[in-house]
Amino acid sequence: MKSILNIIFAGVAFLFCLLIAFYTNSSIVLNAVLLAFFIQWVAFVPAFLFQTEKFYDLTGSITYLTVMWFVYITSNHISGLNISNLIVVLLISIWAIRLGTFLFRRIHKDGEDKRFRTIKTSASQFFMTWTLQGMWVSICSMCAITAISSETGLISNPIFFIGLSLFIIGFSIEVIADHQKTVFRSNEDNREKFITTGLWSKSQHPNYFGEILLWSSIALMSFSSLSGTQYLTLISPIFTYALLVHLSGVRMLDDMGNKKWGHLEEYKNYKKNTPVLFPKL
């Protein structure tokens, strides 16, 4: 029964993305979404056969790169050479390469991703997880690829440049937060401790805040090029927030932290006085 539910959930996720892509009225967007899921399903086969999750995150980044450059190259004959299109594609490419290599190095250093210990042993659950990654790529990039493939392409106006500035801020926060935590963990004395310094003194999850901010900025940069039912693609930052806060990131890490340090007064004070996501000034 659980296996059937996993397959149904994966199917719903796939159809949901196809539905939004259909309402963009763009065959390029529809093909890009199909490509994103196809890559995940192909990668799932060796991952399950060899019972490994080590290239899961890297595949996600490769999918972003493939989808973004596919749409950019395919759309050139529609809007011509558009510098704003190229800027957004490069921004997402830089983000994807940085995050993918960061997570790939981390999992090889740790030896495994503990989240996948039970998931990868179930074909249906592991398949669902790969399908959800296709959904993640599709939904997050949908507003950008819709704007890029429009007749005008991305429009360089004040809203675009505000979004560009916010992207730089969000990306910087994410990179700095990840670096600070990596340095903290590299110290053997901190092996059983939790980080409360740097950006982590302003937010319990500053890296996720940066991630949400940068995808919100992509939606902002894309906004002026959308019309009609294409505005449905602006679900991107909402989806990112829901995914990172309620489904995977924050919720899972909080559960792990409470089990490990929940009995410590210092941890209780940190949780009480530090915002969960949005940093205090």
What's the whole-number mean pLDDT along residues 174-192?
91
Q: Which domain holds residue 226?
A: 2-273
| Angle in degrees, 0-180, between the axes of helices 249-261 and 265-273, rounded to the nearest 10 | 150
Is the pLDDT at 165 greater than 80? The verdict is yes
User: Does some domain include residue 48?
Assistant: yes
User: Does some domain include residue 174?
Assistant: yes
User: Does some domain include residue 278?
Assistant: no
Q: Give 243-276 pLDDT, tens digit per residue.
A: 898 887 888 888 888 998 988 899 999 999 999 9
* Domain total of the chain: 1
pTM: 0.92
Predicted local confidence at residue 50, as pLDDT: 86
Place of tokens 């675009």: 160
User: Does some domain include residue 195?
Assistant: yes
- To the nearest whole percent, how much of the chain has pLDDT over 70? 96
What's the whole-number mean pLDDT along residues 76-98?
90
Predicted local confidence at residue 161, as pLDDT: 97
User: Does some domain include residue 233?
Assistant: yes
Predicted local confidence at residue 188, as pLDDT: 87
Is the pLDDT at 140 greater than 70? The verdict is yes
65 burial level (CB within 10 Å; 0-12, 13-18, 19+): middle
| Alpha carbon distance 220, 171 (integer Å) | 15
| Alpha carbon distance 88, 221 (integer Å) | 8
Q: Give 121-139 pLDDT, tens digit per residue.
A: 788 888 999 999 999 999 9
| Alpha carbon distance 210, 180 (integer Å) | 14
User: Does some domain include residue 279?
Assistant: no
Q: Are 84 and 154 a contacting pair, CB within 8 Å?
A: yes
User: Does some domain include residue 92?
Assistant: yes
Is the pLDDT at 106 greater than 90? The verdict is no
Q: Are 87 and 164 a contacting pair, CB within 8 Å?
A: yes
What's the whole-number mean pLDDT along residues 40-48?
93
User: Does some domain include residue 280?
Assistant: no
